[in-house]
Amino acid sequence: MTHPSTPCVTLPATAHETGIELPVIGQGTWYMGEGLAPHRDEVRALQQGLELGMTLIDTAEMYADGGAEEVVGEALAGRRTQAFLVSKVYPWNAGRQSAIEACERSLSRLGTDHLDLYLLHWPGSIPLEETLEAFERLREQGKIRRFGVSNFDVDELDALHALPGGGDCAVNQVLYHLGSRGIETALRPWACRHGLPLMAYCPLAQAGQLRHDLFGHPVVRELADGLGITPAQLLLAWVTRPVEGRRDVIAIPKAVQPAHVADNAAALAVRLDDETVARLDDAFPAPSGKVPLDIV
C-alpha cells in the first residue's frame, strides 16, 4: 500500500488484525459533497491523491449528510483495494443497534462491503460499552476491520481503555496543527505511552480556537522559502514529524484543486531538520500546561 521510502505510521496489531503501515499524509473529505466544488472535481481529486500515494481516505456520515461518503464511493469505484477507508459515526447513532444501522448506511453510500476503520466521531451520551459492543459485532460481520475514536481527551481515553476491548482502539482523531498544540501537553504523551496513533484533522489550520494566520506568518514563509517548499508542505511536514524518533501522527488535509493535491502529496518527501523545528517551536510554542481539547 505504500512505497518503501514513504514515511509511515504503524497501526498496531489487534487480536484480529495484523499491524499495518499507513502513509503519514492521507486525504480528508470535510466539506466535500456540499456543492462548494464540482462533484467531478472532488472525485478526481481523491483519485489523484490515491495515485500519488495518499492512500488513506477519511470521511464521515456527518459530512454533507452522507454526501461526502457518496463522493468517496464514486472515487473508489473499481479501485477499493487501493485505499484504506475510514468513516465516522455520530455519537447519537453509536448505540448497540443504531451503530450497526449507521454503518450499513455508510457502506451503502460508499459502495463497499467494509470499512478499514470506523470511528466514534466524538464522545456522546450513549455508554461506551454499547458502542464497543456494536463495533465488535460489526467486526465479526466483516463490515469493519478496526475501530477508533475522535475528539477524545485523556479522561475519555482512560474510560475507554478501562473497558473490555477498549485497548483495541486503533486511533484517536483530533484537531492538530502548528497553531493548535494543546494535545502535546497531555494527550499525545498518553497516546505514546499506550501505543495509540493519532490522526490530525485541520492540519493546515483550517480551524480551531487557537488558529493563527500560519500561511502568512513571516517565520513560516521564511523557512518554507529556504527549503524550496510551500507553506502548506512545511505545515504538513511539521504535523507529521517524528518525535523522539517515532512517527505517530497521520495528517488528513482536504484538497480539490489538482495543484493542492499534488502539493500535499509532495510533503511526504519533506524532512525537517532540528533547526527548522526549533524555529517553529520558538514562533509557535506549545502551551505550558494542559488546555481544553481544541475541537471543531
- d(CA 56, CA 83) in angstroms, rounded, equals 6
- d(CA 133, CA 291) in angstroms, rounded, equals 31
Q: Is the pLDDT of residue 185 over 80?
A: yes
Catalytic pick among 63, 118, 176, 201:
63
- d(CA 242, CA 231) in angstroms, rounded, equals 19
CA dihedral defined by 199, 7, 193, 129, rounded to 10 degrees? 40
Going by C-alpha positions, the residue among 20, 24, 83, 4 that lies closest to residue 265 is: 24
Going by C-alpha positions, the residue among 50, 138, 51 that lies closest to residue 99 is: 138
Alpha helix (H) residue ranges in 147-205 = 154-161, 187-193
Q: Is residue 63 flagged as an active site residue?
A: yes
Rounded to the nearest 10 degrees, the angle between the axes of helix 98-110 and helix 128-140 is 50
Q: What is the pLDDT at residue 211?
A: 53
Residue 1 binned pLDDT confidence (cut-offs 50, 70, 90): very low
- d(CA 182, CA 210) in angstroms, rounded, equals 9
Neighbours of 167 (CB within 10 A): 15
What tens digit of pLDDT does each residue of 197-253 get?
A: 999 999 998 654 445 678 889 999 999 999 999 999 999 999 999 998 999 999 999
Q: What is the pLDDT at residue 146?
A: 98
